[in-house]
Amino acid sequence: MNDLAASAAAEWATLLNAALLGTDRRPLAPASPGWESVVVAPDQAIELLNRAAAVTTARRAGVQPHEAPMLAAPAPLDPRPVCSAAAAELLVLMLGGQHEALLPEWIALCLHAGLRVPHSLIPRLLLRGRRNPAFDHAIRAVIGPRAAWLAQAMPELAIAAAPKPLPAKTAPFLPPQPPLDSGAVVTAISGAFAERQATWAAAPQLRIAVASLHPEWLAALMLELNRAAFNPVTERTRVDLLGLARVRREMVAALQPAVTADGATDAGDGSLAADARTRVRLAP
């Protein structure tokens, strides 16, 4: 602390002591050298405020960097590329509670593509994993070594450096198995809306069905759902499933390079190719 800072600190302590008890009880001490008012106010309270304003301004305007604390060792390098911003946005959407049924598939696709999650999302994923061991096991594979580093760097998060062993009979956090005939599932879902059976109570089962469909059939499903006649009983479910199908298509496109008919990869806009194939299959 230099002389000016020490002088400001001493003057501030004087002012604070007087202000704490009040100038009615404790008369204001004379100003330290260099902190005298240009015009001394007759009212002690006003004089204290004047002097406090001068010291506050000096302290704030003269703010200096603090001494640097000890730095933690850098995290080990993860050579995998980070997933795209679009994929990260979808993950944030799911972590926020929307279309959570797709979370296992997101993790599986990310792992399959050899990508990792953005580091800024790791704390959120690890904190979620604290209350869901199966999720914790699955997500740590895409998080990589940064999880153990964070657990050590921020013990206040109470995150384990390594995932705890899964309790017996705990189901792994994996996407649902795809059906043998996705087309039949689309027909069944469409029929459920036609027969007014796609109520909100049935929505969880329908969501699992949509999450398990082969991705190529998602466009067909969306077409069928858009064609479905309005019905107040099933409308909420219809909108929910439409959103789920749309997000799943975006997720697949963002995390898995699509392969077109001629064998070329189309990582950026695979959904269009899928559209074209789907239209051909639906044609009578």
Partner 1 sequence: MTVQPTPEQVLSLAPDSAVGAAALALATPASWSFAGCDDQAVWGNYIAAAAEPYAVAIDLSDDIAGPAYRCTCPSRKLPCKHALGLLLLHANNGVMHAPRLPFAQQFMLRRGSRSQATDAATPELASVTAADDGVDSASMAVGAADRGASASLTGMQLPDPARSKRQHDRAERMRAGLQELDRWLADRIRAGLAAPELADISNWDLLAARLVDAQCGSLAGRVKRVAAKVGQHPQWHEDVLEELALMHVLAVGAQHTSSLPADLADGVHVATGLASAKDEVLAGVPTTAWWTVAGVSRTREDRITVQRTWLCASDASDPSGNITWAMLLSFGVFGAEATIEYNVGTVLQADLHWYPGGIALRAIVGREHVEPAPSTVAPQSCSIADALSACGWALAQEPWLERYPMSIHAVPAPLGNGRWALVDPTGSVPLAAGFAATAELVCASGGLPIGIVGEWSADGFLPLTMWADNMLSQL
Question: Which residues contact partner 1 by CB under 8 A?
Answer: 12, 15-16, 19-25, 43-46, 48-50, 52-53, 55-57, 60-75, 82, 85, 88, 118-124, 146, 149-150, 153-154, 156-157
Q: Hey, what's the torsion of the CAs at 29, 35, 36, 37, to 10 degrees? A: -110
**Residues 15, 17, 18, 21: is their CA dihedral positive or negative?**
positive
CB of 138 to partner 1, least distance (A): 19
Cα 153 to Cα 73, 123, 143, 161, distances in angstroms:
9, 12, 16, 10
Distance (Å, whole) CA 23 – CA 15: 10
Distance (Å, whole) CA 111 – CA 127: 20
For partner 1, the closer CB: 135 or 149: 149
For partner 1, the closer CB: 124 or 277: 124
Answer yes or no: are the C-beta atoms of 247 and 87 closer than 8 Å. no
